[in-house]
C-alpha cells in the first residue's frame, strides 16, 4: 500500500490541542493495524527548540537519536509507543538553513532562490521523507501555528501543491477550530470556524474534516450549518469537547468516528475495528485509584507546567500502573530555604527535583534534598536534580565546604559536578550537549538494578556537566553509590543512597521514555515508594 498523508492544521487560536488530536487519530489508526507516524512542522526560525527557554516553548523533548524537539513529539511517543526521530520535527529555520547552505554550494545553478519553489520544494521533500522509508502506511503531519499567520504560509502552500501532486485520495486535511460559547448570549458561535476555513481556502486548501473544539456539545443543526458554510460533509464536522484527561481523547474521537471519516476519505482498506483494550485498561486504572499520594516537584519553571510535560505525564502513567492518584505539588526552588523547607514539604510523600540549567533556584534544591535525605522521604533526582543530590551529599555528609557544580560556581574548590571533557571545546549552543540514547550498566544488587530488573538499559540524555569521578570513592565509602555507569566512558548515570528507603537520582531523563502503555519503571517504583511512605506515616 502506498503511504497516505494526513495533514492537521489549526485556526482561530493556538493551544487547541492539534498535537493531542493528531496523536489520538494516530492511536486509532494504529489500533486498526496500520503503521503510523506523526511529524510536526513548526513555523519558527530557530533550527530546533533546543536553544529556547522553557518559558517560551515548554519542555524540549529529546528523541533516541538525540534531536531536541517540540514537546508534541512526546505526546506522539506516549500515545503510539513508538520512537520518533530528528525527521519528525522540522522548523522553518531548518528548511531555510538547508536551502541557504545549498545555495552557497552552488546547487541552484545561478537561479534566483525563492520561497516558491525552493522553500516550498524543501518543505514538500521533508513532508514526504518519512513516508518514503516504506515503514509507514500513514504519515500524519501537524502544522504548527494558525492558518493566516505570515510564518505558516509556506507550509500551507507546500501542502496545497502536494495535494495536487499526490492526488485526492492520497491526502486528507483535518482542520482544527474553536466553537466558542458566549455566556452572555447563551450560545455557541460558528463564525470563527467559518472565517478560519475561509482563510485556509483562500490559500487553496479545502479541509476534508473539521475538528471543532468546544466547551459544550455542538447540536446537529449547528454541525449542519458549519458543514454548509465550510464545504464539508455534516458527518465530517467532528466535535472535540474538553476531556478529563488527554488519554480520553482517542476514545472521544472514536465515538465521533474521526478514524472512519479518515479511512473513507483516504480509501484505506476497512480492516478490523480498532483494538483499544489495553488503552481502556490503562484509563480504567487511572480513573479508579485505590490510593492517593502527594509528590513535590521542585524546579524553577514551575509557573509553566508545560516545562515539565514529560515528567507530569510519567506520573500519570505510573499512577495508573499503581492504581494511585498522584497529586503533583509544585515548589518554586527559589522560595525554599533551610527555615521553611520542613514546613513546606512536611505533607509530601515523595520529592522530585527537576532538570534545569543555571544557578537560579540551586540553593533551594539542595535544601529540599537535604530534608528528604535526612527524613527518609522517597526522592528522585533527574539530571540537574541528580547533580544537586551529589553536591548536597558532598557538602553535608562529606563535609566538603563549597562543593558545587562548575556550571554555577566555576571556581569551586570541590567541583563535584564538572563539565564533560568533550564539551570544553564546544562554542556553538544548539544541538551540542550530550544528547540522546546511551547505554547504562546497572550494578547488581543495587536499587536501580532491582527497579529495572536488568543490568543493561538505554536512556536519553541532555546535559553538558557530569559527576566528577575523582570523588566517587569518597561518595561510595559514605554510602552514596554509583549504581549506573556508562560502560564506554565510565560516566556516572545513576546514584543512590544505600541507607535510605528510596533515594535514586539519574543523570539521564527517564521521563522521556515513559508511555501510557509502557510506564517507566523508575516512576512506577517511585510512586510505589510514595504509597508505602504515606502508609507508614
Ligand atoms: N545543567 C545541567 C547540565 O547541563 C543539567 C541539565 C539538565 O538538567 N537537563 O549538565
Q: Which of 59, 157, 239, 511 is catalytic?
A: 511
Q: Which of 383, 414, 461, 463 is catalytic?
A: 383
- One fold for 4-280 and 289-536: yes
Q: Helix 220-230 and helix 191-202: axis angle, to 10°?
A: 20
pLDDT at 12: 86
Which mutation among 422, 462, 493, 510 tests ligand 1's pocket best, with the greatest number of atoms within 8 A of CB? 462
Q: Considering only the top CATH level, what class is 289-536?
A: alpha beta
| Segments making up each domain of the chain, as ranges | 4-280, 289-536
From the list 512, 418, 450, the residue with the least C-alpha distance to 84 is 512
CA of 141 from ligand 1 middle (Å) equals 31
| DSSP 3-state of 362 | helix
- Mean confidence (pLDDT) of the chain: 96
In the predicted model, is pLDDT for residue 426 greater than 90? no
4-280 CATH fold: Rossmann fold (3.40.50)
Q: Which residue has the cell 504509597?
A: 531
CA distances from 40 to 94, 206, 329, 526 (A): 13, 20, 31, 32
Q: Which of 414, 461, 500, 509 is catalytic?
A: 509
Nearest CA residue ID for atom 3, ligand 1: 463
Cis check for the bond before 60: say yes or no (omega within 30 of 0).
Answer: no
Whole-structure pTM value: 0.95
CA of 409 from ligand 1 middle (Å) equals 14
The pLDDT tens digits for 471-519 are 999 999 999 999 999 999 999 999 999 999 999 999 999 999 999 999 9
Is 509 one of the catalytic residues? yes
In the predicted model, is pLDDT for residue 271 greater than 80? no
Model confidence band, residue 430 (pLDDT cutoffs 50, 70, 90): confident
In the predicted model, is pLDDT for residue 242 greater than 90? yes
Q: Please state the separation of Cα 198 from the chain's center in Å.
A: 32
Model confidence band, residue 15 (pLDDT cutoffs 50, 70, 90): confident
pLDDT at 52: 87
CA of 464 from ligand 1 middle (Å) equals 6
Stretch 70-96: mean pLDDT: 96
pLDDT at 422: 87
In the predicted model, is pLDDT for residue 53 greater than 90? no
Stretch 189-213: mean pLDDT: 97
CA of 436 from ligand 1 middle (Å) equals 13
Ligand 1 atom at minimum distance from 357 CA? 1
The pLDDT tens digits for 398-417 are 999 999 999 999 999 999 99
Sign of the dihedral defined by the CA atoms of residues 74, 76, 78, 84, in that order: negative
Nearest CA residue ID for atom 6, ligand 1: 463
Is 212 one of the catalytic residues? no
Is 414 one of the catalytic residues? no
Amino acid at each position: 500500500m502506498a503511504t497516505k498523508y494526513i495533514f492537521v492544521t489549526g485556526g482561530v487560536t493556538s493551544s487547541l490541542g492539534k498535537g493531542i488530536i493528531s496523536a489520538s487519530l494516530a492511536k486509532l489508526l494504529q489500533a486498526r493495524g496500520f503503521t503510523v507516524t506523526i511529524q510536526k512542522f513548526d513555523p519558527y526560525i530557530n533550527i530546533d527548540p533546543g536553544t529556547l527557554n522553557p518559558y517560551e516553548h515548554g519542555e524540549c523533548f529529546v528523541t533516541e537519536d538525540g534531536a531536541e524537539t517540540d514537546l508534541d513529539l512526546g505526546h506522539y511517543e506516549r500515545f503510539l509507543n513508538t520512537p520518533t526521530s530528528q525527521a519528525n520535527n522540522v522548523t522553518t529555520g531548518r528548511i531555510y538553513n538547508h536551502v541557504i547552505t545549498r545555495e552557497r554550494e552552488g546547487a541552484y545553478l545561478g537561479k534566483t532562490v525563492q520561497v516558491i519553489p525552493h522553500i516550498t520544494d524543501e518543505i514538500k521533500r521533508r513532508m514526504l521523507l518519512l513516508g518514503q522509508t516504506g515503514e509507514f502506511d500513514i504519515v500524519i503531519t501537524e502544522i504548527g501555528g494558525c492558518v493566516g499567520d505570515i510564518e505558516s504560509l509556506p507550509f500551507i502552500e507546500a501542502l496545497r501543491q502536494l495535494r495536487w501532486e499526490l492526488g485526492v485520495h492520497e491526502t486528507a486535511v483535518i482542520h482544527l477550530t474553536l466553537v466558542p460559547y458566549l455566556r452572555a448570549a447563551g450560545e455557541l458561535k460558528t463564525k470563527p470556524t467559518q472565517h478560519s476555513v475561509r482563510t485556509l481556502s483562500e490559500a487553496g486548501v479545502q479541509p476534508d474534516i473539521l475538528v471543532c473544539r468546544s466547551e459544550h456539545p455542538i447540536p446537529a443543526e449547528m454541525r449542519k450549518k458549519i458543514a454548509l458554510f465550510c464545504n464539508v460533509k455534516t458527518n465530517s464536522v467532528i466535535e472535540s469537547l474538553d476531556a478529563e484527561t488527554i488519554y480520553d481523547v482517542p476514545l472521544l474521537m472514536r465515538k465521533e468516528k474521526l478514524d472512519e471519516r479518515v479511512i473513507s476519505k483516504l480509501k484505506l482498506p476497512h480492516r478490523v475495528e480498532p483494538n483499544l483494550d489495553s488503552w481502556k485498561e490503562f484509563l480504567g486504572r487511572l480513573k479508579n485509584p485505590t490510593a492517593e499520594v502527594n509528590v513535590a516537584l521542585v524546579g524553577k519553571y514551575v509557573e509553566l507546567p508545560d516545562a515539565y510535560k514529560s515528567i507530569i505525564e510519567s506520573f500519570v502513567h505510573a499512577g495508573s500502573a499503581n492504581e494511585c492518584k498522584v497529586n503533583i505539588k509544585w515548589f518554586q526552588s527559589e522560595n525554599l530555604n533551610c527555615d521553611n523547607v520542613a514546613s513546606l514539604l512536611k505533607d509530601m510523600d515523595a520529592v522530585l527535583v527537576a532538570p534545569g540549567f543555571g544557578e537560579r533556584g540551586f540553593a533551594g534544591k539542595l535544601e529540599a534534598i537535604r530534608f528528604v535525605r535526612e527524613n527518609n522521604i522517597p526522592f528522585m533526582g533527574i539530571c540537574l536534580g541528580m547533580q544537586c543530590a551529589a553536591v548536597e551529599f558532598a557538602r553535608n555528609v562529606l563535609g566538603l565546604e563549597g562543593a558545587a557544580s562548575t556550571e554555577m560556581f566555576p571556581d569551586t574548590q570541590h567541583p563535584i559536578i564538572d563539565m564533560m571533557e568533550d564539551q570544553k571545546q564546544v562554542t556553538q549552543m544548539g544541538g551540542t550537549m550530550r544528547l540522546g540514547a546511551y547505554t547504562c550498566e546497572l550494578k547488581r544488587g543495587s536499587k536501580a538494578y532491582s527497579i529495572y530488573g536488568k543490568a543493561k538499559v538505554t536512556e536519553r540524555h541532555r546535559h553538558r556537566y557530569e559527576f566528577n569521578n575523582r570523588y566517587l570513592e569518597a561518595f561510595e565509602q559514605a554510602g552514596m553509590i554509583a549504581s549506573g555507569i556508562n560502560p564506554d566512558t565510565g560516566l556516572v548515570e545513576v546514584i543512590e543512597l544505600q541507607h535510605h528507603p528510596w533515594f535514586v537520582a539519574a543523570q539521564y531523563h527517564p521521563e522521556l521514555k515513559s508511555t501510557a502503555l509502557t510506564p517507566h519503571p523508575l516512576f512506577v517504583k517511585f510512586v510505589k515508594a510514595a504509597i508505602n511512605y504515606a502508609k507508614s506515616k
